[in-house]
Amino acid sequence: MTNLRHDWSIEEIEEIYNLPLPELIFRAQTVHREYHKPDAIQGCQLLSIKTGGCPEDCGYCPQSAHYKTGLEREALMSVESTLEAAKNAKDSGATRFCMGAAWRDVPNGEQFDQILEMVKGVRSLGLEACCTLGMLREDQAEKLAEAGLTAYNHNLDTSPEFYGDVITTRTYDERLKTLANVRKAGVTVCSGGIIGMGETKNDRYGLLQQLSNQDPHPESVPINQLVKVKGTPLQDEKALDVFDFVRMIATARILMPSSMVRLSAGRLELSDEAQTLCFIAGANSIFMGEKLLTTPNPETNRDTQLLEKLGMKLFSAAA
C-alpha cells in the first residue's frame, strides 16, 4: 500500500499537478486501485435545510445576504420533510445524505435540537449523515457525534493567501478550528474547495497542501467547480479549463489515497467525457438529484445512464 503522507511540500504538489496528463492519470489510477474499487461511485444527496440570508460574504455564494441573487430567505425545514427527502434520496440510490444550512455558525436551542433529530432520523434510514452548518464549537460537535453524525462538511475552499480575496467575514484559522473540533469529537471530516474563482495555480497547490497535510486526512474531499451565480461578485469569472478540474482531482487522489474524492458542484457544465476523465482521475463520488443546495445539477437519469454506459455502478450500501 502507498503510505499516507502528511508532509507534502508545495514543490512536490506542483510537480504532480503539472505532470504530463497520461502520467498524472496513471499515477492517480494506481493509488486509486490500492484503496478503492475502480468501478464504484458513491451517490450523495444534498438538501438545503435552511436557505438564504446568510450573514457571511463568501464571494461565490448565492445564499449570502450581501448579494442580490434572487434567493428568498427561508426558515429551517421541519424534521419530517427533511426525512422524507432522505427517504427519496435512498430510493434513488444515494448512501449519504448531506444537510446544508446558510448559517455563519450553529445556533443553540430549538433549532440545534431539530438538527439532532434530523441526524438521528437519517441514520436510522441506514444512510450516512453529513451536515454543513458553518462554524461549530466543540460541545456542539460532541452532541452531533452522539446523535450519530457520520461527517461534517466544512470547506477550506482555497489557499490561505487567496482566502481574504473571496471572504472577509471570517478567517482561515476559524475554518481550521472548526475542523479540529469536528475531528476531536470523532466525527469524520469532509473538506475540500472550489476552483475557477480566479485563483492562481499556486492557490490550488496551497489548498491541496492544507488538506493533505492534515493528520488524518479528511475522509472526504469535495472538489467543486465554481457555479457562477448572477448577483455574486464572481458571476463573471472566466470559464475553467476542464483539464484543470481533472488535474485537481487527480492530484487530490494522489496526495490523499484513502479519502473519498467527490466530483461536486459544476457537473452540469461537464460533458459525459469530461466526467469520465474525472472518474478515471480518481473521483469516486457524485452528488445526485436535480439540485445541489440551491443551483441545478444533472438529472438522476442522465447519471445512471452514464454509469451504465461506463460499466460503473453506485455503491450499494452505506459504509
Residues that bind ligand SF4 (CB under 6 A): 54, 56, 58, 61, 63-64, 102, 104, 134
Q: How far is the CB of 227 from ligand SAM (least distance, A)?
A: 4
Calculated CA dihedral for residues 163, 166, 168, 172, nearest 10 degrees? -20
Of 149, 37, 45, the closest CA to residue 94 belongs to 45
Whichever of 132 and 140 has its CB closer to ligand DTB, that residue is 132
Does residue 216 have a cis bond before it (omega within 30 degrees)?
Answer: yes
Of 209, 58, 203, the closest CA to residue 132 belongs to 58
Catalytic: 130? yes
Q: How far is the CB of 163 from ligand SAM (least distance, A)?
A: 12
Q: Are strands 285-288 and 151-153 parallel, antiparallel or unpaired?
A: unpaired
Q: How far is the CB of 133 from ligand DTB (least distance, A)?
A: 10
The one of ligand SF4, ligand SAM, ligand DTB, none whose footprint includes residue 130, by CB under 5 to 8 A per kind, is none
Catalytic: 262? yes
Whichever of 227 and 288 has its CB closer to ligand SAM, that residue is 227
Angle between helices 272-280 and 242-255 (to 10 degrees): 20
Catalytic: 98? yes
Q: How far is the CB of 228 from ligand DTB (least distance, A)?
A: 10
Q: Which residues bind ligand DTB (CB under 6 A)?
A: 46, 62, 98, 100, 132, 153, 155, 192, 222, 224, 227, 264-265, 292-295
The one of ligand SF4, ligand DTB, ligand SAM, none whose footprint includes residue 64, by CB under 5 to 8 A per kind, is ligand SF4
Q: Which residue has the cell 486526512?
A: 217
Q: How far is the CB of 295 from ligand SAM (least distance, A)?
A: 6
**135 close to 104: Cβ distance less than 8 angstroms:** yes
Whichever of 284 and 294 has its CB closer to ligand SF4, that residue is 294
Instruction: Return d(Cα 240, Cα 266) in angstroms, integer.
Output: 10
- 136 is a contact residue toward ligand SAM (CB under 6 A): no
DSSP 257: T
Catalytic: 61? yes
- 61 is a contact residue toward ligand SAM (CB under 6 A): yes
Instruction: Return d(Cα 241, Cα 6) in angstroms, integer.
Output: 29
- 293 is a contact residue toward ligand SAM (CB under 6 A): yes
**148 close to 123: Cβ distance less than 8 angstroms:** yes
Return the active site residues.
54, 58, 61, 98, 130, 190, 262
